[in-house]
Structure 1
């Protein structure tokens, strides 16, 4: 059976948006990792707005000892500001970091705040290096970390963490799961999520991720820019990527040099 565009996008999404737990609970954590709690649950600011509800679930279910929000200003920040202006107009966004804005939503919804914020990072690489520095500065354990990023960027975030903290148990929990459906020759998401990307941007993000995850001279793996640990991309995922990229040759997002700071910063 010939794969449809929706099938290909859902295959890319399932690959990028890893969830290592069946649900965000102490029971699921113990069943798979024999951990009563992770050392930290980390929400990254590249996520859509509904990511805050995953953080709230994590806090309510006490899946970690500490709760952190990581994110300065990067390629998704302006999109986040626009969505916050739309859905939470009482929250100031001008010059605010992603971590500040998500923390303000958390406080608005629950009266609680994250234990720690990281506000200087501009890309996935220093999201991780700055996170690790923050954990070290505050003498917080990092044996087991639950990472929660936008579903399009989750696998790369984990691969970055694997490079810089190879002895840490990384537990993926992408901030949402969504499927693309085709109806009347139009692409739609199967459910509504607060702050979800427009379909064009979603396709751009997925294509950009697969191109980055490849361990090739142009990718982010050791054979290329060496930003991430090597990632194995299954053949069917690569085939789907090439089919979608052929349909949307202008949507294979390249890195914005404005946010490409050294990982040592």
Structure 2
């Protein structure tokens, strides 16, 4: 299989989508800060179509912030970015399309686990919550929210990755690409490693940040193949 095919196998698994589209009403959308501005566009469209009347944006200053700033600059968007949390930048992008009083901000989290931990404190009586995250981190984010909200049996979490990444479109060297191929490969390898329930992963057998996540055999094969050819991109499962 080609690199593009193997990346697609892994990214389709990581970009968790529990529904085909955001069409059914929910109580809340939780939008995670990231470098994927398409997330904002998806949430704005859902709000405008009446899917949700409340939006919680979660994200401080983390490892993706500089990539978000680069994306803002590349698109020549008129948004202040200097030393600002990702949630504040996303809120500014949303405010032309969403009522100001519909937005709540959590601006202290710096990773997926903290997104879930800190945002969950702001989820009160809601029964249906949609999670929107960078697609490479969507599955781990969902697992993190399941852990943070494990005692809320009334709560339904619905994941919706904003895009399904493809080499040659969202991934590559083109002007509209979200990720370079190298960065995307590194992100995908890191996410599979984190999700593996072993001594190096985030599951119960490792750091115990999330509950066990089953990884399909074809995803593990793709991971091993790409990792073997890109050892320089294989890093410890931190972050």
TM-score normalised by length of structure 1: 0.82
Contact 1:91-1:104 at 8 Å conserved across structures? yes
User: Partner residue of 1:34?
Assistant: none
Contact 1:205-1:253 at 8 Å conserved across structures? no
User: Does residue 1:158 correspond to 2:142, yes or no?
Assistant: yes
User: Does residue 1:175 correspond to 2:173, yes or no?
Assistant: no
User: Does residue 1:110 correspond to 2:97, yes or no?
Assistant: yes
Residue number among 46, 51, 55 corresponding to 1:67 in the alignment = 55
Distance 1:240 1:85, change over 3 A: same
Distance 1:250 1:227, change over 3 A: same
Report how many aligned residue pairs link the two structures.
Answer: 235
Contact 1:49-1:194 at 8 Å conserved across structures? no
TM-score normalised by length of structure 2: 0.90
Inter-partner Cα distance in structure 2 for 1:57 and 1:117? 19
Contact 1:41-1:66 at 8 Å conserved across structures? yes
Q: Kindly report the root-mean-square deviation, in angstroms, between the aligned alpha carbons of the 2 structures.
A: 2.2
User: Does residue 1:149 correspond to 2:137, yes or no?
Assistant: no
Contact 2:201-2:237 at 8 Å conserved across structures? no
Q: Is there any run of 5+ residues in structure 1 with no aligned partner, and where?
A: 27-36, 182-186, 261-265
User: Partner residue of 1:84?
Assistant: 72
Residue number among 18, 28, 38 corresponding to 2:26 in the alignment = 38
Inter-partner Cα distance in structure 2 for 1:45 and 1:188? 18
Using the TM superposition, give the Cα deviation of residue 89 of structure 1 relative to its aligned residue in structure 2, in angstroms: 4.6
Using the TM superposition, give the Cα deviation of residue 66 of structure 1 relative to its aligned residue in structure 2, in angstroms: 1.5
Inter-partner Cα distance in structure 2 for 1:243 and 1:199? 16
User: Partner residue of 1:7?
Assistant: 5
Superposition pairs of residues 229-248 of structure 1, within 5 angstroms: 229-248=211-230
User: Partner residue of 2:14?
Assistant: 16
Contact 1:50-1:195 at 8 Å conserved across structures? no
Q: Deviations over 1:164-202 (max 9, x none)?
A: 212331111001112225xxxxx9849x79661111111
Q: Is there any run of 5+ residues in structure 2 with no aligned partner, and where?
A: none
Inter-partner Cα distance in structure 2 for 1:76 and 1:132? 21
Distance 1:72 1:246, change over 3 A: same
